[in-house]
Structure formats: C-alpha cells, structure tokens
Structure 1
C-alpha cells in the first residue's frame, strides 16, 4: 500500500513537471524571454569587446609611475574581467523590465540575470581577489550565496538563517547577521589594508622626513585607518559600542596582567620612533648579544637581520631598559683597524707612509674625519707589530669586508717594497758536542 502511494505521488509530480514544461515550451512569453536573454548576452559580448581595449589603455599607467593616480588606475585595472558578466547582468535587467511590462512575467530572463551575477562572483573570487583571507571568504561565503541567488533559493535560506539564533553570553546574533558581518568586515578591512599599504608607501617615500618620523607616521596612519574601519563595520552592522562595553571590560580585566608586557613594548616602540636613536637601517648590538641591521619596527618588537640572513625579533622594551650600541649604518662613519707585523731587519720608519698610501687607495676608506693612520704597537716575539686605523661608512661585516681588502693591500705594498712579513720562528741552542751513532 505504501509502495503504491509513493508510485502515485511520483507519477503526479512527473505529470505536473511535464505540464509545466509544455506550458513553458508553448508560451510566447517564455520564448520571448529566452530570445531577449540571448540578445542581451550577445550585445554584452560585443560591447565588452569594444570597451575592453579602451579601458585597458585608460587604466594602464606608465611602468615607472608611482603616484596616487597611477596606483588607483592599476587597482581598477584588475576588475576588467568583470566587464562581460556585469554588462550581461545590466542588459538582461532591462530585458526583464520589458517582458514583465509586456507579459506580466519574467522568470526565464530573471534566472539568466541571476546566473550572470553568479559568474561575476566566481570570476571575482577566482581571478581578482588574491588576499588569502578574502579568498577564503569568497570561496565559502560569496560564491555559495551567489549560487543560491541564481537558483532562487536565497530568500528562503536567508529566512531560515535569520530564524537561527546564536547566543554569545548576554548577546545573541542570528546566523544571517554573522554571515553578513563576515562579508562586510572582510571587504572593509581588505580596503583598509589596501589603503594602509598605499599610505605607508607614500609616507616612506618622503625622504625629507627623518626615518623615525616616517615610521611613526606610518604606524599612526595604520592605527587610524583600521580604527575607522572597525567603527565603520560596527555602524554598518548596527552594533552599539555600548553593548560591547561589558564584554570588553571582562576581557580587559582577565587579560590585563598578561598584556602588561605588550603595552610596555608598544609604548617603548613609540618612544623609539619619537627619539630616533635607533631606526630602520641602523646596525645595533644589544647587551644580550643580539646584533644586526634593523629591517622593521612593529608596535610590539623590532626585527634585526643578521649578516647570515637570520631574523631576530627583539621586544621594543629591550631597547629602552638595556644598553644598546648603535653603529648607525645609515651614513655614520666607523673606525676599524688592521694589525700586521714586519721583521726586525726592516727600516720601520718607512712603514707608515707605505701602508697609509696603500690603504688610502681603497675607495671605501674615508679621509674625513681622519685619513688612514699607521701606528707602531709593540716589539713582538716574532716581529715588529703595527696596526693601521681607517674610517669607513658602514659595518665591517656582511657584504662589506673592509678589513680583508685593507690587509690585501698591505700585503701587496710590503711585498712590492721588499719588506718581509715574519712568521713564528724559534732558535734552538744546543750545548756540547753532537754525537752521531755509527752504523
């Protein structure tokens, strides 16, 4: 009996679908809508083919252009792949208006219009968005939503999601609200990140500002942009900031002690940027043994890059509470010395002139604040010990090996003048007669 009822119900559905299909096939309104849909798509293809080269020329700046207008043109250029589906969507929208006015229906062309919107969403996620977070949101939220919209199920699904309430302490949100929040917040913060990148690049290109002030201005701009983005998201989603005050207070009390170090590092970072005693590009050495070139200063820590390519993350507080040696690789001269020795048979009065002239030929050795200075240091066990002091702009390490080149020049200069460079020697005195064993 149950099997018979199922068969009868299936047959009824089949006949209903058949009658609906025949009605659509024999309906002038359906054929008109399908024809308008094809015409709208064909017109969109023709228009996009003519507009695409024009837009590419208008939105492609010169390769070396880095101003705000050029960057905005490059930003708009990435959206050119959306031209065809959006044109088709707009033209099918006009066709839907015509068919609804003429026949009182427009389901076929409306379905086609929604499909074009789905294609636009898919192209946006697949070809345009490259940010990892937005790509995930687009893949798992935007594209499924566009698919439901194309199939006509979006309103029903949204109604079910709106009825599903998610409790969060004293607050409660619908599932639909959370999805909207994720999409809106993702889009706004992506735009905020892009704006922050452009602002930071513009600020760091202002060479008349001190490096520390450029870093401070960039950080202040970043905080402002994302602060405005947060308030904008809260306002758009209709969330009252006072409703979050209790939750924020509980989190603040619970994490306050644990965030003391973070607050200390943040304040220390601001002090470093304001004072400018250590900035990006400086070579520094801390009491703890950490040494390297500052490559980045964040709100919490300063990143040092050693000459073997490793990055050391140093909390900003360490720059305030410990002793820091700043070799100031950014244009500050540093003094180094290269030791050497000559034999006791040498006329040592000639050595300073020969060595100083040889070292001065190095293009990196400075004559200001002081030229190369060769000094007699000691009468050693194996030879007379000298050292030449020289000044350079930089650190004698990494890609700059000043001392190595200076020693090469000293060696060649001494050899050219016939001066012997001694090596360890020992004189052995044997007392008495040396007897040999007879074979």
Structure 2
C-alpha cells in the first residue's frame, strides 16, 4: 500500500519550464502554504489580543503584527513554490504570468494592498485615531487591512473605507500626535445684552463641564463676539476639551450648548427673537415738532449718556498673543494629563 502511495505521489501533473509538478509535490506545497497561513493567522490574532489589552502605545506592535503576518504568508507561498520543485527560471515564468493576470483584472486589489502598506509605514494614521473624511464621515480607526481600513463611528456602525481613499483624498486626523483640539461652539444673545455678563456666565459654565481642560498660557477658554444676526449678537465659545471628548464631537457640542443655555437662563440673559422696528414719519400730514403738537406731546429730554465700562476682548488677546513653539505645546498637553 505504501508503494502505491509513492507511485501516486510521483504521477506528473504538468510541466513548467524544466520542472515537472507531481501529485506529491503539489500536495506538499499546498500543505506547507496552508501551514504558514494558519501560523500567520494565529500569531496575528495573538498580537491583536495583546494590543487590545495594552490600549496605549500599540503603534509599533501593530506594525510588527502586520509585517509578521504578511511576511509569513509570502514566505509560505515561496516555500510552497520551492516544494513544487520549481527553479528560478520557472518562478520567473510563473511571475510573468501572474503579472499579466494582475494587470488584466487584479490591479484594484494590488492598489489597495499597496495603499494599506503605505498607511502602515507612513504613520500618519494610527489605530485608535479619530479621523474625518471629505464626505463628513467620522470615526475611530479600528484596523488597516490588506484591502480596506475599518472605521467605527460613534453610533457603533463599522465603515469599510478603501485604503486608497485615505491616501488620495484629504483626511482630517483629529487626534494625531495625541494632542487635543480647540472647539468652537456658536450661540446667540439679544442685541443690547451686556457682553461682559455674557462672557463671564458662559466661561464659568464651560469650565464646569467635566471634560474641559484647565487653562494654560497657550490654551484658554474664551468667548468671542463674531458678528451680528437678526436681532442678535453672534458669539462663539472657544474651549479646549479632553482628547476623549474630541472623539465624540456631536455629544461634546451638545454638552456645551446645554451648559451655555443653562448659564444664560440663570443669568437672565435674553435669547434673541425676531423683531421689527416701525418708524412713523408723518401723522396726518404733519412731521417732527408739528406732529408732536398735534398729539399734544412734548419731545422727551434724554439724560446724558454714561460711558460703557471697559470689557475683556478675548479675540484681541488671542491675536496679540505669540504662537508657542511645538515643544511648549507638547509640555502643556503632558501637564494637563498630569492634572487629570
């Protein structure tokens, strides 16, 4: 029986160049390649579990995981080809045929695979980064695969984005280098409201939000008057939240908006409503003093105006403040983390 198996193993299947592929050689090549692929899958899963436990500082581990997995797969393929008994010239012929196949139908797959390698080595996007694409799609990068990058948004929906899209298009990385970002929260109050009162109330409310970072020389909570609307003064709250809050932009903005509304209501500051002023130019054909006499009215004598007290202009202070070097900004981030 053993001799029968040996005879079957030596049955020739095809000839590539000067090499003859037998049944036994093909079986051994498939088994060896499968073994390496299985090893790559097991090792990759083991390293992935380690990354999930560590959570921080896993960029180098992820790179090692992908290199080891891809390396084992490629080595298994070449080991399988070697087991078939193919010489270098035969492999060159095989590679030429494979290249033609790739050029005809698999160029898209190769493009995404190479784009994935570029993303891994470029280090501009890391696992755990919060990114935003041109179409407004946002989410946390979960995995950079051979074909697509898996991104999870804050609704726990997973998005598969082709790797080439992250290279060819503009992508905002909100958490690159592990630093927080400044957030603008717009709000309005009625025209004529005391600006200093608005500023004090809103800044106090923003500082009471649990994920607002403490003020530093470079990163401060501010209130800017940015324009005029219909019966309204347009303000913006300028605030530096924690890095985790930046990853949840809608909830973060909703929390600040809620705090602003509570502060304005508590301080008795009016929210603007549409208003229209009507001016009567003539009364029964009379104007000015003649119209007042016709109504038996006298012109009101206004008291002299009192100069308005000086207020704090956060936007002007921001423009005049010198830009801090990158090293100082990194020190500020570390200081805020230590305070938390």
* TM-score of the two chains, using structure 2 as the length reference: 0.64
Larger radius of gyration: 1
How far residue 215 of structure 1 moved from its aligned partner, in angstroms, is: 3.0
Aligned to 1:352: 199
Q: Which residue of 2 aligns with 1:240?
A: 86
In structure 2, C-alpha distance between the alignment counterparts of 1:432 and 1:396, rounded to whole Å = 60
Measure the CA separation in 2 of the matches of 1:303 and 1:177.
38
In the TM superposition, residue 282 of structure 1 has moved relative to its aligned partner by 1.8
Matched, 1:389 2:238: yes
Q: Give the CA deviation at 1:404.
A: 0.9
* TM-score of the two chains, using structure 1 as the length reference: 0.52
Does the CA-based 8 Å contact 2:130-2:247 persist in structure 1? Answer: no
Change (3 A) 1:396 1:424: farther
Q: State yes or no: 1:421 paired with 2:267.
A: no
Aligned pair in 2 of structure 1 residues 399, 302: CA closer, same or farther (>3 Å)?
Answer: same
The residue aligned with 1:374 is: 223
Residue of structure 1 equivalent to 2:300: none
Given the superposition, is the C-alpha separation of residues 179 and 214 from structure 1 closer, same or farther in structure 2, using an over 3 Å criterion? closer
Contact 2:116 2:146 (8 Å CA) reproduced? yes
Question: Does 2:68 match 1:218?
Answer: no
**What is the Cα deviation at residue 371 of structure 1?**
2.9
Kindly report which structure 2 residues correspond to 1:266-305, keeping only aligned pairs within 5 A, or say none.
Answer: 266-287=113-134, 290-305=137-152
Query: Where in structure 2 are the equivalents of 1:52-63 lying within 5 Å?
Result: none
Matches within 5 A, 1:101-140: none
User: Number of residue pairs matched?
Assistant: 277
- Work out which of the residue numbers 182, 191, 205 in structure 2 matches 1:335: 182
SS in 1 for 2:94: helix
Write out per-residue CA displacement over residues 286-312 of structure 1, whole angstroms, 9 at most, x where no aligned residue: 446554332211344433333441413
Following TM superposition, by how much is the alpha carbon of 1:325 offset from its aligned partner in structure 2, in angstroms?
Answer: 2.3
- Secondary structure in structure 2 of the residue aligned to 1:292: strand
Higher RCO (CA-CA < 8 Å; seq separation 6+) = 2
- Residue number in structure 2 paired with 1:405: 255
Residues 187 and 360 of structure 1: CA distance in aligned 2, closer, same or farther (over 3 Å) = same
Structure 2: how far apart are the matches of 1:254 and 1:234? Answer: 18
**How has the CA–CA distance of structure 1 residues 361 and 426 changed in structure 2, closer, same or farther, with 3 Å as cutoff?**
same
- How far apart are residue 353 of structure 1 and its match? 0.7
Match of 1:197 in 2: 45
Q: In structure 2, how many angstroms separate the alpha carbons of the residues matched to 1:238 and 1:165?
A: 11
3-state SS, counterpart of residue 333 of structure 1: coil
Secondary structure of the corresponding residue to residue 376 of structure 1 = strand
Contact 2:225 2:236 survives alignment (8 Å): yes
Q: 1:186 to 1:320 in 2, by over 3 A?
A: closer
Q: How does 1:242-257 map to 2 (within 5 A)?
A: 242=88, 243-256=90-103
Change (3 A) 1:306 1:157: farther
- The change in CA–CA distance for 1:274 and 1:204 in structure 2 (over 3 A counts) is farther
The separation in 1 between residues aligned to 2:283 and 2:2, in whole angstroms, is 116
Specify whether residues 274 and 397 from structure 1 end up closer, same or farther in structure 2 by C-alpha distance, changes over 3 A only: closer
Secondary structure class of the residue paired with 1:378: strand
My pick for the range that moved more, 302-311 or 196-205, is 196-205
Distance verdict in 2 for CA 1:188–1:322, change over 3 Å: closer
* C-alpha distance after superposition, 1:338-390 (max 9, x if no partner): 22222346333311111100111001112344232112233432233322111
SS at match of 1:401: helix
* Equivalent position of 2:76 in the other structure: 229
- Which one of 300, 310, 313 corresponds to residue 161 of structure 2? 313
How much is the aligned-residue C-alpha RMSD, in angstroms?
A: 3.9
CA 1:158–1:388 in structure 2 vs 1: closer, same or farther (change >3 Å)?
A: same
User: Could you say what secondary structure the match of 2:210 adopts?
Assistant: coil
